[in-house]
Structure 1
Amino acid sequence: MKVAIIGLGFRLGYLGAVFREMDPDFEIVGYVDPNPAGLETLQKDNISPGTSYETPEAMIAAETFDLLMIGSPNFMHLDHIRIGLEAGLTVFTEKPIVTSIEESYKLAALLNTYGHDRLLVGLVLRYSPLYRDLRTAQAEGRLGDIVSIEASEHIAPYHGAFFMRDWRRYARYAGPFMLEKCCHDLDLYNGVVGARPRYVASFGGRKSFTPANAPQGTGANDIEVYHRKPSGWMGADKVFDSDADIIDYQTATIEYENGVAMTFHTNLNVPDEFRRFCVIGAKGMAEGDFVRGFFNVHDARTSEKTVSKTYTAPSERSAHYGADEQMAEDVIAHITRGVPLPVSALDAIEAGILALAMDEARNEHKVVDLSPVWARYDALLHGEAQVAASAG
């Protein structure tokens, strides 16, 4: 499989190596990036990045390939997706798919024109063994009707500090933190609920990465953890006095259109990190943790544990608990043989809208009603807005 890349950052550099592992014939024919942070990763794996181009248009005109992969900063995604779709290409974009409600509307209109099947998205946790087992247990009727969900994504201080130093510290480039980091998780639970979120409330702020909490020592051991993960474009050294405008903790409460309720919590300064869920249904409960690697299901009537599994990553290098390898394998199968994928661009847009609503609720201290957003989104996605405008 041949690909071209717009935005050869750390993520697509790593994915390039994973795709090559899954497909020895995987080839990168070219890339567009003035400062390709992922180049070193490819070189370590003896993978050629292909020809460097100054613009996406020049690369698309010069090369022939099966898939355009987008790993540019989030605020550039919409334009790069548009360029790819207009050129008749199949496009894979990293998450989050876009960075605002307004961009979600624009993307919906774009997909109405070009179809959403040609746009793939890197919501990688959909490919994880743990999530697949959760959906299997649900399909087998072990949970019954879903009633409520408690979920979280908590990351370690070294990773939280990375967000305070990287370009992702600015919402104008990355979108709010719930969108940039937690859209993975929100997508998973949207899938489990099987309905769209309707009402959203949220609270949070920045209380850990502040000057008052900076280490008092000046030795390398005092600050090493906060610089362990390298930053790329627009990177900085400041952590506790960072100019970031993102949160370092947030909670949210969601009611879905079918009445299911969910609470979600994120924190960027958790020394023993975890990424867990408890899905409670009328007939059973499913509990799991992606980081700690377990999945249990209990019967509501007997309390019997009906499923008990543990998970380990395929290798020390593996990210996302083995989901990257499965995603690469599935994307290759989709491109070469038309095998369906477990997540779509429409799923990504819906998860993004939920994350953006969380930030709106937090900023404005209100409960956000998403019904008008879905009405506008659907009208654009299905062309109804254009028809109404023409009729008017």
Structure 2
Amino acid sequence: MKVAIIGLGYRLGYLGHVFDQMDPDFRITGYYDPAPAGLATLTEHGIDPGTVWDSPEALVKAGGYDLLMIGSPNHLHLDHIRLGLEAGNKIFSEKPIVSSIAQTYQLAKLIAEHGPDRLLVGLVLRYAPLYRDLIAARDDGLLGKIVSVEAAEHIYPYHGAFFMRDWRRYEKWSGSFMLEKCCHDLDLYNGLIGARPERVASFGGRKTFVPENDPRHDGVNDLSLFHRKPTGWNGSDRVFDGDGDIIDYQVAIVEYANGVGLNFHTNLNAPDQFRRFAVFGTRGQAEGDFIRAQFKVTDVLSEAVSIDKTYQATALSQHYGADETMAAEVVAHVMHAGPLPVSPLDALEAGILALSMDDARRSRQVVDLRPIWDRYDAALTKRGAVA
């Protein structure tokens, strides 16, 4: 498979390596990026990045590829997706595919015009073996009717510090931390629950990465922990006194249209990080942790454990065995029309939930999503596309 890249950041540099491992015919024809942080990863693995273009338009006009891959900063995704759709390309966009509710409506109109089938999304956790086992347990009736879900994604302090230093520290570019980082998780639980979220309340802010918590106040001058993960475009060295506006902790509660309740918690300062869930149904309970690589299902009546599984890590994957599966299935889809487990509409719906959580956090009010869904659905129709 031949690809062209707009936005050769760390993620697409790494995915270039993964795709190269999964597809013997993989080749990059060229890229556009004024600050290609991911170039070193390609070079390290002997992958030719192809022609360097001076604009996205020039790269797309040159053609000669099967898939246009977009890894630019979030606020630019919409423009780059539009460019590819109007050129007739098949497109893979990293998540989140848009950075605001307004952009959500605009992309919905583009999908109404061009259809959803030419836009693929990098919601990689849909490909994780643990998640696929969770969905199978649901479909096999082991859980009964889902009643409520408890979920969390917490990250190491060095990773949290990365967000405080990277371009993602500004909501104008990232959308928000909840959107940028946690849209993966929200998409998983939207897919599990099988309904749209209707009402959201949320609270959060920044309490860790603030000046008073700078370790130097306590005589600790070695801050290498907080600089372990390098930044790319528009990065900063400031961790505790930075100028970003993202949160470093947030909690949210969600009610879905089918009555299921979800609570979600994220924190950027977890020295023993985890990414886990507990799903409570009328017939069973499912617990899992992507980082600890464990999954268990327990029956309500017998209290017997029907599934107790541990997953083996792979050297290639950054996402619990999901990256290489995604690469293989994307190649199969592009070259042979194989199926995919996630769509751009799933990505937009996860984004709406994330952004609504942030609206609720800012306003300290319960946000009713139904007016958003009404406008979104109108945009997805041909009438909405031309309005």
Q: Given residue 313 of structure 1, which amino acid in structure 2 is its aligned partner?
A: A
2:289 is aligned with 1:327:
no
- 1:319-342 CA deviation, whole Å, 9 max, x = no partner? 011110110011011011111100
Residues 386 and 237 (structure 1), Cα distance of their counterparts in 2 relative to 1, 3 Å cut: closer
Following TM superposition, by how much is the alpha carbon of 1:114 offset from its aligned partner in structure 2, in angstroms? 0.3
Following TM superposition, by how much is the alpha carbon of 1:219 offset from its aligned partner in structure 2, in angstroms? 6.0
1:127 and 1:192 mapped to 2: Cα distance? 13
Q: CA RMSD, aligned part only?
A: 1.0
Aligned to 2:310: 310
Find the residue that maps to 2:215 and give its secondary structure: coil
Task: Determine if contact 1:30/1:63 at 8 Å carries over to the other structure.
Answer: no
Following TM superposition, by how much is the alpha carbon of 1:382 offset from its aligned partner in structure 2, in angstroms? 1.5
- 1:221-262 CA deviation, whole Å, 9 max, x = no partner? x31110000001111111011111000000000000000000
TM-score by length of 1: 0.97
Following TM superposition, by how much is the alpha carbon of 1:384 offset from its aligned partner in structure 2, in angstroms? 3.2
Report the identity percentage: 64
Task: Determine if contact 1:151/1:276 at 8 Å carries over to the other structure.
Answer: yes
2:18 is aligned with 1:28:
no
1:219 and 1:270 mapped to 2: Cα distance? 19
Aligned to 1:134: 134
Task: Determine if contact 1:75/1:175 at 8 Å carries over to the other structure.
Answer: yes
Aligned to 1:15: 15
Following TM superposition, by how much is the alpha carbon of 1:218 offset from its aligned partner in structure 2, in angstroms? 6.1
2:42 is aligned with 1:37:
no
Aligned to 1:237: 237
2:335 is aligned with 1:336:
yes
Gaps of 5+ in 2: none
Aligned to 2:185: 185
Following TM superposition, by how much is the alpha carbon of 1:386 offset from its aligned partner in structure 2, in angstroms? 5.1
Following TM superposition, by how much is the alpha carbon of 1:57 offset from its aligned partner in structure 2, in angstroms? 1.5
Q: Given residue 110 of structure 2, which amino acid in structure 1 is its aligned partner?
A: L
Aligned to 2:300: 300
Following TM superposition, by how much is the alpha carbon of 1:311 offset from its aligned partner in structure 2, in angstroms? 1.1
Q: Given residue 281 of structure 2, which amino acid in structure 1 is its aligned partner?
A: G
1:369 and 1:63 mapped to 2: Cα distance? 44
Q: Given residue 45 of structure 2, which amino acid in structure 1 is its aligned partner?
A: D
Aligned to 1:110: 110
Find the residue that maps to 1:181 and give its secondary structure: helix
What is the correspondence of 1:69-80 to structure 2 with a 5 Å cutoff?
Answer: 69-80=69-80
Find the residue that maps to 1:321 and give its secondary structure: coil
1:368 and 1:296 mapped to 2: Cα distance? 34
Aligned to 1:380: 379
Following TM superposition, by how much is the alpha carbon of 1:318 offset from its aligned partner in structure 2, in angstroms? 2.4
Aligned to 1:210: 210
1:251 and 1:272 mapped to 2: Cα distance? 19
2:382 and 2:196 mapped to 1: Cα distance? 20
What is the correspondence of 1:146-165 to structure 2 with a 5 Å cutoff?
Answer: 146-165=146-165
Following TM superposition, by how much is the alpha carbon of 1:82 offset from its aligned partner in structure 2, in angstroms? 0.1
Q: Given residue 355 of structure 2, which amino acid in structure 1 is its aligned partner?
A: L
1:155 and 1:386 mapped to 2: Cα distance? 39
TM-score by length of 2: 0.98
Gaps of 5+ in 1: none
Following TM superposition, by how much is the alpha carbon of 1:61 offset from its aligned partner in structure 2, in angstroms? 1.8
Find the residue that maps to 1:357 and give its secondary structure: helix
2:364 is aligned with 1:365:
yes
Find the residue that maps to 1:182 and give its secondary structure: helix
Q: Given residue 357 of structure 2, which amino acid in structure 1 is its aligned partner?
A: M
- 1:271-301 CA deviation, whole Å, 9 max, x = no partner? 0000000011110010000001100000011
Range that drifts further, 3-12 or 378-387: 378-387
